[in-house]
A and B are shown apart, each in its own frame.
Chain A
């Protein structure tokens, strides 16, 4: 059976094609204002990547903040369910998953069947999401892709107290003016971010084998800070973690 999972997120729309439980294609497009266009573009890219015809896709699972715009979806999958199913798909022994996307961070605990036991979502502001790191990269005039690696070279933890993106940026500017080393500032940013996500994970309870999904899982500064803050030896991250929810949606579509 071939199914597709489409995650229409706040910033990017991702599509995954799964055939008999194996990922065979992926596609991505900027969501922008025209969500339907982004859905179409990412789907077409994934189909091409998979080397199949659209008609071969039997079911489509739609998820994400723009899920309603996925008209072709045969099933709507809640974002919490999509992430827990994806975590179980990639790492069958996992029971806790965190997903940090562009504008939202979530954590969930689930049982051996993949059923959600508890979940938490960041609710105060964007300070617990990818938008926070993007904003800080701008303040440091450093490419986003390099920011995480910079943090790894710092051995000097500095607290970053502000609980909001704008005020945190002011605090970072203050550190720049105080001639603080850029790698130390980068670590402060990632530590602050990790601390917020860990408090979210602790709210649902930390079970062994924690899986990290979402675009921020690519950032080594963040995942290292997260590991340090959680006190665990390893955080499980799949290849292309930003496709996590799309994978979950595709798996749910196949099971239905």
Chain B
């Protein structure tokens, strides 16, 4: 790849985020707060004067963490622990682990035991979504995390700084939404792998810097001629294996929607700035596409899922289920039955960079494309 290629810096960040963040820390003197995806409000960390950096474990070769975490844990959790044990995360001044599933709950306890000198907090997200008590609870929890952050940075989170932080993240989300749309209109240059690299890198560098990088992209490129590429919607947690988006490009799929934590889900809703700013963040969280481990009434989960697919105009759904993620595994059969009932083709991939053969994924995608294209023999 050419170094003047405006897409290269995003790929560089994903390949080696930690060297970059060490340099940023040395240059700015700011505290670095790591967080496990999803749903830690980066705006709070930013408003405390620190830099939020996502600790993404999927794709990390596992060796050291095997001694501490069961082998049937997801790659995402195992990889995050591996990074910590390797010392790659020494740059962090603090770590936030959200309660999204049993694995992250246990990961928090492991983290406290294995890295006793590194401040770590557990963001106890409510599992029930939409309930008024849950909203009040989450606001209290955000307040508690805010105090913890203030203790690390020495900066008080005041309304002005939080408004400023929310505005920066809203601007970033707006840009990323535009990028997602470009994938639909100009897929030859705004490929799925390139666009998703924007999302993946956004959580690994200071957001202001990322916004500047986005400005260099070819936003004015003309729209591609209409194609009959099959339109797909992806449900899952993380883009694992990382090559999956490149495979979508290779097989000519158009990504029109997804629920991945570093995908459309992360940008689809902005907090609306109101008098009570913590309430703004709470309302945003409650409006997000529920993460697979959250609890909502099953029929509502299915209806909402079908509505999202219909709105996206997708012709088919790809489930990107991480191996050993029981939350995703429990949801999938109900969702598949609902899709079948509505004659929406789907492909359930159980993937992990720790043990998935790309050639098997290729074969499945190839066959799925033929199903969507109605390519009769």
Binding site for B on A (CB under 8 A): 65, 78-81, 84-85, 113-119, 121, 123, 248, 251-252, 255
CA distance A81 to B371 in the complex (A): 10
Question: Taking CB as reference atom, which chain B residue is nearest A89?
Answer: B377
Q: Are A85 and B377 in contact (CB under 8 A)?
A: yes
CA distance A117 to B374 in the complex (A): 10
Instruction: Decide if B150 is an interface residue (CB 8 Å cutoff).
Output: no
Instruction: Decide if B350 is an interface residue (CB 8 Å cutoff).
Output: yes
A-B contact pairs, 30 of them (CB 8 A): A65-B359, A78-B363, A78-B366, A78-B370, A79-B367, A80-B363, A80-B367, A80-B370, A81-B367, A81-B370, A81-B377, A84-B377, A85-B377, A113-B376, A114-B376, A114-B377, A115-B374, A115-B375, A115-B376, A115-B377, A116-B370, A117-B371, A118-B371, A119-B364, A121-B363, A121-B364, A123-B356, A123-B360, A252-B377, A255-B377
Question: Taking CB as reference atom, which chain B residue is nearest A116?
Answer: B371
Report the interface size for chain B: residues with CB under 8 A from the other chain: 15
**Contacts A80-B367, A116-B367 given: A121-B377 contact, CB under 8 Å?**
no
- How does the 8 Å CB contact mask read for B346-377 relative to A, with 1 for contact and 0 for none? 00001000001001100110110011001111
Q: Report the 10 A-B pairs with minimum CB-CB distance, sorted nearest first.
A: A80-B367, A85-B377, A114-B377, A78-B366, A115-B376, A252-B377, A78-B367, A113-B376, A116-B371, A119-B367
Further 10 A-B residue pairs, CB within 8 A, beyond A78-B363, A78-B370, A119-B364: A78-B367, A80-B363, A80-B366, A80-B367, A116-B367, A117-B371, A121-B360, A121-B364, A123-B356, A255-B377
CA distance A64 to B330 in the complex (A): 33
Contacts of B350 in A (CB 8 A): 123
CA distance A116 to B370 in the complex (A): 8
CA distance A123 to B321 in the complex (A): 13
Binding site for A on B (CB under 8 A): 345, 350, 356, 359-360, 363-364, 366-367, 370-371, 374-377
CB distance from A11 to the nearest CB of B (A): 16
Q: Are A251 and B377 in contact (CB under 8 A)?
A: yes
CB distance from B230 to the nearest CB of A (A): 14
CB distance from B184 to the nearest CB of A (A): 26
Contacts of B345 in A (CB 8 A): 118
Question: Taking CB as reference atom, which chain B residue is nearest A119?
Answer: B367
Number of inter-chain CB pairs below 8 Å: 44
CA distance A115 to B377 in the complex (A): 7
CA distance A113 to B377 in the complex (A): 8
Question: Taking CB as reference atom, which chain A residue is nearest B356?
Answer: A123
Question: Taking CB as reference atom, which chain B residue is nearest A117?
Answer: B371
- Among B345, B370, B374, max chain A CB count under 10 A is at B370
Question: Taking CB as reference atom, which chain B residue is nearest A76?
Answer: B366
CB distance from B221 to the nearest CB of A (A): 32
Question: Taking CB as reference atom, which chain A residue is nearest B371?
Answer: A116
CB distance from A208 to the nearest CB of B (A): 19
CA distance A79 to B367 in the complex (A): 8
Contacts of A123 in B (CB 8 A): 350, 356, 360
Question: Taking CB as reference atom, which chain B residue is nearest A80?
Answer: B367
- Among A78, A79, A84, A116, max chain B CB count under 10 A is at A78
Contacts of A80 in B (CB 8 A): 363, 366-367, 370
Select A79's contact among B356, B363, B375, beta carbons within 8 Å.
B363
CB distance from A183 to the nearest CB of B (A): 35
Contacts of B375 in A (CB 8 A): 81, 115
CA distance A121 to B367 in the complex (A): 11
CB distance from B363 to the nearest CB of A (A): 6
- Among B367, B374, B375, max chain A CB count under 10 A is at B367
CA distance A65 to B345 in the complex (A): 24
CA distance A113 to B376 in the complex (A): 7
CA distance A80 to B367 in the complex (A): 6
CA distance A78 to B377 in the complex (A): 10
Contacts of B370 in A (CB 8 A): 78, 80-81, 116
CA distance A84 to B367 in the complex (A): 11
CB distance from A246 to the nearest CB of B (A): 14
CA distance A252 to B377 in the complex (A): 6
Question: Taking CB as reference atom, which chain B residue is nearest A251?
Answer: B377
